[in-house]
Amino acid sequence: MKSLVVAMGLAAALPAGFQTAFAACRMADSDAAWIAGALQAWRGAERDILRLPPTPLPEIVVLDAACTYRSATAGEGAPVWATAPHGGMATLPDGRQIPAAPIAFAAPGTGAGPGYFVMSLPSVWRAAGVASPLGLERLMDGVLLHEIMHTRQFYFVGPQLAALTARYGLPDDLDDNSLQAKFQADPAYVAAYENERDLLFAAAAASSDGEARRLAGQALAALRARRAKWFTGDAAYWASLDDIFLTMEGLGQWIAYAWLRDGGAAHGGDADLLTAVRRGGKQWTQDEGLALFLVVDRLVPGWQSRAFAADPELAEALLSRAAAGPD
């Protein structure tokens, strides 16, 4: 695996506070070792699991209890961090402030670039009592892979969401949990979703590819029936949002799972790893999306080139290929 960010002249790219505060901040050795290793893991996963050519990383912001560490967008090489104390509230590249708590997310930029990636360091998560059967740093490896992977999707997600917003007047705060918040009080909808999700996990675990395709076809029919029943009239926009967020969150969960599996993190077997990555299935889009991409990865050879094409295929189209069988 390769190192990540070219040492750059950051003074012109970062706020003044970051140019003068280095002496006041020093990342703990354990935090520094983790972020270096996790970013190397991303480069390896990008190359070997997503099968994508390397691209420059987004701007990266990491934080501990006292300081923010910020590296500008670059290519290959070792990260060079510009630092500043944050006083409990870290400032993001877009000017927003967030508390120094366990957090990880990617956000699009204002132009055509990859946006930026933010994550608190292991010392922050450990102080907050976060734990996992995988071990904290392994858990965080998966979280970083999930979130930073989204920066490879912003090139198509941004324009699609902008078009939907212009067409339907969508609010700014819609995210991958919004559909769950909207429909979780409807028992019929919940039952339809759970049936669809369970069919996908059954397809992923089927004893033969033929059985996997049969179950994938049932899941595809269930997905289309759910959208046809609930996403009509003023709610029609949910169909497109569902496809976008299943694609984003499904791929995020899948790459974390695939890397942890291939990296030998399965303590007690692959089923235990899957349970750990699912985290109880509390977030619908992440859980169903993971199942969907497990099926796609099993049944659609070379799907990565379709999922990251100039005009990419989203979750439903990829599932349709899985159900149909080889070209």
Domain edges within the chain: 16-139, 155-324
Determine the average pLDDT of the residues in 140-154.
Answer: 94
**Phi, psi of 102, deg, nearest 5:** -60, 120
Least confident of 63-72, 73-82, 205-214, 251-260: 73-82
* Confidence (pLDDT) at 232: 95
Contacts of 71 (CB under 8 A, 6+ apart): 5, 10, 57, 59, 60, 79, 80, 81, 82
Q: Give the separation between CA 171 and CA 181, rounded to whole angstroms.
A: 14
Model confidence pLDDT, tens digit, residues 80-105: 888 999 999 999 888 889 999 999 99
Q: Give the separation between CA 243 and CA 208, rounded to whole angstroms.
A: 27
Indicate whether 6 pLDDT > 50. no
* Confidence (pLDDT) at 271: 75
DSSP-derived secondary structure letter, 129:
T
* Confidence (pLDDT) at 111: 56
Comparing CA positions, the residue from 124, 119, 123, 174 lying closest to residue 143 is 119
Write out the two tokens for 286: 């992440």
* Packing angle, helices 209-230 and 237-262, rounded to 10: 150
Model confidence pLDDT, tens digit, residues 11-25: 233 344 444 334 479
Model confidence pLDDT, tens digit, residues 255-314: 999 999 987 554 445 778 999 899 899 999 999 999 999 999 999 999 999 999 999 999
Comparing CA positions, the residue from 49, 168, 58, 69 lying closest to residue 107 is 58
Comparing CA positions, the residue from 5, 142, 135, 136 lying closest to residue 60 is 5
Pick 327 or 123 by higher pLDDT.
123
The answer to whether residues 200 and 303 touch, using CB atoms and an 8 Å cutoff, is no
* Confidence (pLDDT) at 55: 84
**Phi, psi of 28, deg, nearest 5:** -60, 145
* Packing angle, helices 237-262 and 154-168, rounded to 10: 160
